[in-house]
Amino acid sequence: MIGPVADGVVDVHAHWLPRELFHLPPGAPYGALTDLDGELHLGEVPLSIAATAMSDVAAVRADMDTARIGVRVLSAPPFAFPVGDPAAGHDATDYVASFNDALSRVAADSDGALAGLGLVRLHDESAVRDDLADLARMPGIAGVAIPPLLRGESLDRGALRAVVTGAAELDLAVLVHPMQLPRPEWSSYYLANLIGNPTETATAVASLLLSGLAEELPLLRICFVHGGGSAPGLLGRWEHAFGRRADVARSAKRGPRESFRDLFLDTVTHDADELDLLVARAGSDRVAVGSDYPFDMAQPHPVAFAVDNGLSPTSLTTAGRSFLGLTPER
């Protein structure tokens, strides 16, 4: 239940996790988050992030001032998504409730400068609708954050489909964030992030568009981070296949180019030409500022990057508020 927010550009993609939840949910794939001499480590891997940047609201707000951001939408870092295997007994009920309660308090106490995207129990598809209904009632919470892939399925099936369907019904925003899933061929050079993350996101975009689910849910407000991953560059290929293959076109009535313009995307592209392509594919009214704070792959000056490359503060603010479901009066 999001109320009035502060003026200014909205950063739809930033991360926060309270220290008491650094242990991460049961079945987290990378090990616990730890503070070693002020620096964050995920399992044995240093993240090159100060622990305070992830956990302290004062640090979040200070970065907002530096980056000229009026409203920051906080979601859990992807390694805190509750993606454990129910067959292994991974039950994230307590973790999800604790995170959502903490996030709601932080957002509700921010005088409209912060909003939250909560978690739902992805290990229990039958609980998704109840968790979404709880989020819809929580002060400061605008929606939910989810991974693009879960146990071999994407947005068109299983628990992730239940999330996007329920969110559309309950007027909740959905942020889709990749998890940097490991593959042997991506074990070097940070390729699990550099190639894996854009590929995970493109898979989710394709599953939403080609399944026809985007058409079934016209009220869905869904944002894909990192500029939609590799999806903008693949739209031509998808459109070609849509016109020539029955298995690609069997579920959706509209082609992927048309449906892509229903999505929200953020500006974390790291490249002016990529941002230009994104705007051409989606339209400026669907491109919102993202920072990816506080990660090493963050866009350090997100508003300046977007404005210097042709987007106006007005269009950026409007896109961010539209994603949150805010009317001009709010």
Determine the average pLDDT of the residues in 162-184.
Answer: 96
- The pLDDT value given to residue 193: 95
- Region 5-11 average pLDDT: 96
Statement: residue 190 has pLDDT above 80: yes
Mean pLDDT of 90-107: 97
Domain ranges, ordered by start, for the chain: 10-324
* Cα–Cα distance, 214 to 295 (Å, whole number): 30
Q: 197-249 pLDDT, tens per residue? A: 999 999 999 999 999 999 999 999 999 999 999 999 999 999 999 999 999 99
Sorted by sequence, the CB contacts under 8 Å of residue 39 that are 6+ apart come out as 46, 47, 48, 49, 50, 51
**Average pLDDT value for residue range 45-56:** 94
State whether CATH 3.30.310.50 applies to domain 10-324: no
Q: What mean pLDDT comes out for the span 183-205?
A: 96
Residue 83 has pLDDT above 50, yes or no: yes
Question: How high is the pLDDT of residue 328?
Answer: 58
**Does residue 40 register a pLDDT over 60?**
yes
The whole-number average pLDDT for the span 249-254 is 97
pLDDT of 35 over the 50 cut: yes
Joined tokens for residue 196: 């894996």
pLDDT, mean of residues 144-151: 97
Residue 218 CB contacts under 8 Å (≥ 6 apart), including other chains? 262
Separation of alpha carbons 176 and 144, rounded Å: 9
Q: Is the pLDDT of residue 3 over 60?
A: yes
276-319: per-residue pLDDT in tens?
999 999 999 999 999 999 999 999 899 999 999 999 999 999 99
DSSP 8-state symbol, 293? B
**pLDDT the model gives residue 329:** 47
Which three-class secondary structure state does DSSP give residue 192?
A: helix
Tokens of 299: 């866009």
pLDDT at 330 over 70: no
Residue 86: the pLDDT is: 85
Residues of the chain above pLDDT 90, percent: 92
- Taking the CA of residue 76 as centre, how many other CA atoms within 13 Å lie in the half-sphere pointing to its CB? 33
Q: Are strands 173-176 and 141-146 parallel, antiparallel or unpaired?
A: parallel
Residue 4 phi, psi dihedral angles, 5° rounding: -60, 140
pLDDT in tens, 166-176: 999 999 999 99
Do strands 114-118 and 71-75 pair parallel, antiparallel, or not at all (unpaired)? parallel
